[in-house]
Structure 1
Amino acid sequence: MFDKLSGYQKELLAHIEFKGRFFGLVSRLDLTSRFEISDASATRTFRLYNELAPDNIIYRPNIKRYEWQETAKPIIPISTAKCLGTLIDGFGDSYAHIEGETIAARNSLINTDLDVLSVVTRAIKRKHALRICYLSKTNPQGSYREIVPHSIADSGLRWHVRAYDRKRQSFIDFVVNRIKSGVPLKSEPVPDSQMIAADDDWNTFVALEIQPHPRLAGIKNVIEFEYRMIGGVLVRKVRQALAGYLLDSWNVDVSDDASLEGDHIMLHLKNTQQLNFKGKVLAPGAYKDFSDSQS
């Protein structure tokens, strides 16, 4: 039946499924505001989706929204790139980035498991905890953890979940593709101390002063032009929780004496001696023992 629908009908149904799957809730207003259709048309579209996938969404009169079921099976294929792009930049062809969203975009080496990602994003949107089975260096077979996720971010290599870990009683990063399963803990209230406002590293921004690597004085002007540096410096303000990942993916030497060599090392952190944050150990030239922050 789905194959016989028009492209426009498929687009409407895809919007319902995407909002439900990744945000947990979807309403007629989501359709009327996005596609400028009438309430009656939106109602007919939801009725059609329920005919195609009767167990995926259930209407909750108390909140006047349809709730995505944890046992739901998506019926509309979506590419990982399209999914992540929509989560980052919103729907449609707008060039405007969504301000205030708890998603920071980079480029991943591998595809993210969308089923796992959707469990996480629903928990973020609905502000509840998750019980996950997680693989780590200390527990390669997997162990159960209770986390309260508040954001996702792409480190340039893989997608991470920023969350409060009830085992460690602190905010840390979890790799999305190391999560084997996740079950929402909707009935348990989440205290303010486990919410995003209490995550100091996430809410603190650091100014990274990036300069051409001192050993490349002969092409200093080339690097300055390429990176559009002003006064020989490119200043990037980033979340402290992400700074180490970004410096690593950008191949920025953070050593005090700018001692790293190699054709891939063209940049140096000019203010490295003034900056000291937990994630700095991830950056090239840190010269410190690193214990897996996702353990």
Structure 2
Amino acid sequence: MLSKLTGYQKELLAHIEFMGRFYGVVSRADLTSRFEISDASATRTFRIYNELAPDNIIYRPNIKRYEWQEGAQPIIPVSTAKCVSTLTDGFGDSFAHIEGQAIAIKNSLFNVDLNILSAVTRAIRRNQVISISYLSKSNPDGSTRDIVPHSIADSGLRWHVRAFDRKRNQFIDFVINRILSVTKSTSQIISSEEKAKADDDWNTFVELEIQPHPRLQGSTNVIAHEYRMEDNLLCKRVRRALAGYLLDSWNIDVSVDALLNGDHIMLHLRNTSTVHFPNKHLAPGGVPDST
């Protein structure tokens, strides 16, 4: 039946599947607002989708939405790049961006596992605690831990989920591609200390003052023009939790005396002595921030 549908009908079905898969719920309003179709057309589209995939979404009268089922199998082929682009940029035009979604930065070096990513984004939307099997340097064979995820961020090199880790009793970052599996935790009571509002490093922004590297004085004007600096300075306001990752991906020297060499190091963090954030040691020339 899918092969007999028009391209426009497949686009409608793809929207249902994307919203359900990545945000956990989808409604007729999602179709009517995105495609400017009538309620009757939206209802027919959901009927078609249910005929094609009867076990993927179930209508919940109490919330007046269709709920994505954990064992659902997507039926519309879609590329990882397209899903990631939609999560970061919205649905392809200036009027269709998703408001209020916790996607911080885009630009990814590698593709993410869509099944893992969608399980995490559904947990964020549903305010759920999830159990993950996670690979780390300290546990290369994997360990299980319960986390309370609240945001997704692309650091420029890889995708992270920002979450409260009940094992460490603090907010930390988990690399999406190190997660082997995701299941719903048996403990779903979330305290105020585990919610996004309590994550100070995520909610606090720092100002990064980026300048041409002092060792490249002969090329200062070139670098300043390339990065559209004003008075040889580019200011970037970023989340404190992400600053170390971003400076690393941008190859910005954060050493106090601007000591680094290399053709790839053209920029320096001018205010490195006064700006403080976790994971500063990840940036070129960085050392752990003791503040």
The two structures have a TM-score, normalised by structure 2, of: 0.96
- How far apart are residue 125 of structure 1 and its match? 0.9
- CA distance, structure 2, for counterparts of residue 237 and residue 168 of structure 1: 28
Decide whether aligned partners of structure 1 residues 17 and 146 sit closer, same or farther in structure 2, where only a CA change above 3 A counts. Answer: same
- CA distance, structure 1, for counterparts of residue 273 and residue 23 of structure 2: 42
- How far apart are residue 101 of structure 1 and its match? 2.5
- How far apart are residue 230 of structure 1 and its match? 1.1
- CA distance, structure 1, for counterparts of residue 132 and residue 231 of structure 2: 48
- How far apart are residue 96 of structure 1 and its match? 7.9
Structure-1 residue corresponding to 2:231? 231
AA aligned opposite 2:77: P
- Residues 184-231 of structure 1 show CA distances to partners (whole Å, capped at 9, x for unaligned) of 238712112111110000000000000010000011111111111111
- CA distance, structure 1, for counterparts of residue 168 and residue 20 of structure 2: 31
AA aligned opposite 1:151: S
Tell me if the contact between 2:23 and 2:122 (Cα under 8 Å) persists in the aligned partners. Answer: yes
The two structures have a TM-score, normalised by structure 1, of: 0.94
- How far apart are residue 287 of structure 1 and its match? 4.0
- CA distance, structure 1, for counterparts of residue 277 and residue 287 of structure 2: 14
- CA distance, structure 2, for counterparts of residue 91 and residue 61 of structure 1: 27
Matches within 5 A, 1:267-286: 267-286=267-286
Matches within 5 A, 1:246-265: 246-265=246-265
AA aligned opposite 2:237: K
Tell me if the contact between 2:280 and 2:288 (Cα under 8 Å) persists in the aligned partners. Answer: no
Structure-2 residue corresponding to 1:109? 109
What's the C-alpha RMSD, in Å, of the aligned pairs? 1.6
SS in structure 1 opposite 2:50?
A: helix
- How far apart are residue 99 of structure 1 and its match? 5.6
Unaligned runs of 5+ in 1: 290-295
- How far apart are residue 106 of structure 1 and its match? 2.7
Structure-2 residue corresponding to 1:184? 184
- CA distance, structure 2, for counterparts of residue 183 and residue 65 of structure 1: 22
SS in structure 2 opposite 1:241?
A: coil
Unaligned runs of 5+ in 2: none
Tell me if the contact between 1:89 and 1:96 (Cα under 8 Å) persists in the aligned partners. Answer: no
- How far apart are residue 4 of structure 1 and its match? 1.1
SS in structure 1 opposite 2:242?
A: helix
SS in structure 1 opposite 2:279?
A: helix
- Residues 253-279 of structure 1 show CA distances to partners (whole Å, capped at 9, x for unaligned) of 000110000000000000001022212
- How far apart are residue 105 of structure 1 and its match? 2.5
AA aligned opposite 1:90: G
- How far apart are residue 179 of structure 1 and its match? 0.6
- Residue 146 of structure 1 pairs with residue 149 of structure 2: no
Structure-1 residue corresponding to 2:222? 222
SS in structure 2 opposite 1:278?
A: coil
Structure-1 residue corresponding to 2:118? 118
Tell me if the contact between 1:128 and 1:186 (Cα under 8 Å) persists in the aligned partners. Answer: no
Decide whether aligned partners of structure 1 residues 186 and 56 sit closer, same or farther in structure 2, where only a CA change above 3 A counts. Answer: farther
SS in structure 2 opposite 1:54?
A: coil
Structure-2 residue corresponding to 1:59? 59
- CA distance, structure 1, for counterparts of residue 256 and residue 147 of structure 2: 36
- Residue 161 of structure 1 pairs with residue 161 of structure 2: yes
AA aligned opposite 1:133: S
